[in-house]
Amino acid sequence: MLPVEFLDMMQQQLGQQAPLLFRALEDEPVVSIRLNDKIDELSFDADADEVPWHYDGYYLSERPMFTLDPLFHAGCYYVQEASSMLIQLALEQYVPEQSVVLDLCAAPGGKATLISQYLGQDGLLVANEVVRQRVFVLSENIQKWGNGNTVVTHNSPALFADALPNMFDCILVDAPCSGEGMFRKDEQAVADWSMRTVRTCVERQRSILSDVWDALKPGGIIIYSTCTFNRHEDEENAMWIAEELGADILPLRLDPAWGVTESLAGYHCYPHLVRGEGFYLCVLRKHRADYTPMKLRVPRKPAGTPIAPDTLETVRSWLHHPDDWALRQADRFITAYPMQYKELIDYMATKFLCISTGFGLAEERGKFFAPQHSLSMSKALRQEAFPALELNLENALAFLRTEALPMTNMPLGLLMVTYHGIPLGFVKNVGARCNNLYPNEWRIRKL
Ligand code: SAM
């Protein structure tokens, strides 16, 4: 049962359309995925219509057991609801690929993986999550996506304004909200909803926006989005950004056939009109002004341990374009991150709690360095650097459950295991069996 105050509010907001929305909220949620460019085509048999506003987005006619698909664990696609893929249009229309973007409220990483894909190797994404329990799943999803162009941080919004003033070309604030757009997916969202929650959300959203505001360059783009319908958290906040913080609301070019509703400020996806869940977004440009770009003060002696020359030679041989990556060793771990943004990332490492920068390349094990799991997920991996053991479905799932694999007549030592040619991780072939090196915390716990 939907809350009465919600029904009254939407009746006022939508008039004759309101009953259509209420009916749509009783329907089954739409299932959609967005493909990673790690794979060329979809592996599902299900009838898969394209999401019209994202060339990698597909609707599925039913919800498969994603856990049973090894390619899901290899980051070949992200299960993302279609409406939120509209972020792609805001990027295409206003944010060049060579940009530094902050996704401030990023977990679990649907929009962060989309932005990471959009920026490719030209841009840098900082994906932040302030809630501790959620930041590790964000980092896992970013590593599985495999672009290496992302720094995952766990900090409060105000630190970005303090430590990186005028730094970002674009900031996405996909704000915590009252979640009306999730009503048909999540019963708890209905149970938690009240007008009081809406008011609390408005206050929190404004405080997040004002805390981070100084980190956005003058002339930079802010994308404000929620998965709720009410105008208090949506239009009124977008207009508050424009008037109080100083920005212009920008139009988006959309095909009318998609059913997206343009409002006073920004755009709504209502599930009775759009094939997707509830979503709102507004794109704004911060007023232009003169400013002095910040000078990054990076310590002359970089943190970490110097990498021994023979180790360096080995780990660089695992990469396609080793010169594109700066390498840093801290403790037993060597990390690779984009050379183009080395200074900024080195600076961030001194000021922010960075959960991951780029991708984990190698880890000291006894006298040698072994590859880290995230190398197997990375698009920078030179696959030929490791002998590959192709697994069938049964063994691939056993590998993902961190079970030992049966004996193989492959060479002894480190092997990369693949499924349909896509890397899943590493095993160590000790002759009688293959020891499993899949990260324990990512393993499939139950089938
Ligand atoms: N962008 C994510 C995605 O596409 O997968 C979804 C983000 S969700 C709508 C909002 C996020 O904001 C949550 O991960 C939540 O933990 C985080 N959050 C909650 N309170 C916050 C605060 N005060 N400041 C910043 N982020 C907050």
Per domain, the residue ranges of the chain are 4-30+81-286, 386-447
pLDDT tens column, 249-258: 999 999 999 9
- Residue 84 alpha carbon, nearest atom of ligand 1: 4
> Does the CB atom of residue 111 touch ligand 1 within 6 A?
yes
- Give the mutation target among 54, 105, 129, 212 for probing the ligand 1 site: most ligand atoms within 8 A of CB: 105
Per-residue pLDDT at 300: 72
Per-residue pLDDT at 43: 67
Tell me: pLDDT of 46 over 60: no
Mean pLDDT of the chain: 95
- Residue 175 alpha carbon, nearest atom of ligand 1: 10
Per-residue pLDDT at 444: 96
> Does the CB atom of residue 204 touch ligand 1 within 6 A?
yes
Tell me: pLDDT of 303 over 80: no
> Does the CB atom of residue 176 touch ligand 1 within 6 A?
yes
Per-residue pLDDT at 406: 84
Q: State the angle between helix axes of 87-94 and 110-119 in degrees (0 to 180), rounded to the nearest 10.
A: 30
* Least reliable range by pLDDT among 60-74, 94-108, 126-140, 370-384: 60-74
Give the number of other Cβ atoms within 10 Å of residue 234's Cβ. 29
Q: What is the mean pLDDT of residues 140-153?
A: 98
| pTM of the complete model | 0.97
Whether residue 295 contacts residue 301, with contact meaning beta carbons closer than 8 Å, is answered with: no
CA 288 to chain centre: 29
Per-residue pLDDT at 172: 99
pLDDT band at 305 (very low <50, low <70, confident <90, very high): confident
Q: Which residues contact 156 (CB under 8 A, 6 or more apart)?
A: 130, 211
What would be the CATH architecture of the domain defined by 4-30+81-286? 3-Layer(aba) Sandwich (3.40)
386-447: CATH number: 3.10.450.720
Q: What is the mean pLDDT of residues 222-232?
A: 98
- Residue 207 alpha carbon, nearest atom of ligand 1: 23
Dist. CA 193–CA 176, nearest whole Å:
13
**H-type helices in 49-153, by residue range?**
70-73, 87-94, 110-119, 132-145
Per-residue pLDDT at 302: 66
- Give the mutation target among 115, 130, 136, 203 for probing the ligand 1 site: most ligand atoms within 8 A of CB: 130
pLDDT band at 374 (very low <50, low <70, confident <90, very high): very high
Give the number of other Cβ atoms within 10 Å of residue 272's Cβ. 16
> Does the CB atom of residue 131 touch ligand 1 within 6 A?
yes
Tell me: pLDDT of 23 over 80: yes
The CA radius of gyration of the chain, in Å to the nearest whole number, is 23
Q: 259: number of CA atoms within 13 Å, CB side?
A: 16
pLDDT tens column, 399-422: 999 998 987 889 999 999 999 999
Higher-pLDDT residue of 97 and 306 is 97
- Residue 107 alpha carbon, nearest atom of ligand 1: 14
Dist. CA 271–CA 281, nearest whole Å:
15
> Does the CB atom of residue 434 touch ligand 1 within 6 A?
no
Tell me: pLDDT of 430 over 80: yes
Q: What is the mean pLDDT of residues 269-285?
A: 97
- Residue 208 alpha carbon, nearest atom of ligand 1: 24
Per-residue pLDDT at 185: 83
pLDDT tens column, 70-117: 999 999 999 999 999 999 999 999 999 999 999 999 999 999 999 999
Distance 279 CA to ligand 1 centre (A): 15
Residue 251's Cβ-count burial label (10 Å; 0-12, 13-18, 19+) is exposed
- Catalytic, 282? Answer no
Per-residue pLDDT at 34: 95
Q: Which residue has the tokens 């990556």?
A: 325
> Does the CB atom of residue 110 touch ligand 1 within 6 A?
yes
> Does the CB atom of residue 211 touch ligand 1 within 6 A?
no
State whether residue 389 is helix, strand or coil: strand
> Does the CB atom of residue 109 touch ligand 1 within 6 A?
yes
Tell me: pLDDT of 45 over 70: no
Per-residue pLDDT at 447: 65
Could you say which of 227, 269, 282, 434 is catalytic? 227
Per-residue pLDDT at 41: 75
Distance 226 CA to ligand 1 centre (A): 10
> Does the CB atom of residue 130 touch ligand 1 within 6 A?
yes
pLDDT tens column, 347-356: 999 999 999 9
Distance 130 CA to ligand 1 centre (A): 7
Give the H/E segment covering residue 248.
strand 247-250
Q: Which residue has the tokens 């990483």?
A: 109
CA dihedral sign, ordered 262, 209, 225, 220: positive
Distance 109 CA to ligand 1 centre (A): 10
- Residue 103 alpha carbon, nearest atom of ligand 1: 1
Dist. CA 371–CA 389, nearest whole Å:
16
Distance 104 CA to ligand 1 centre (A): 8
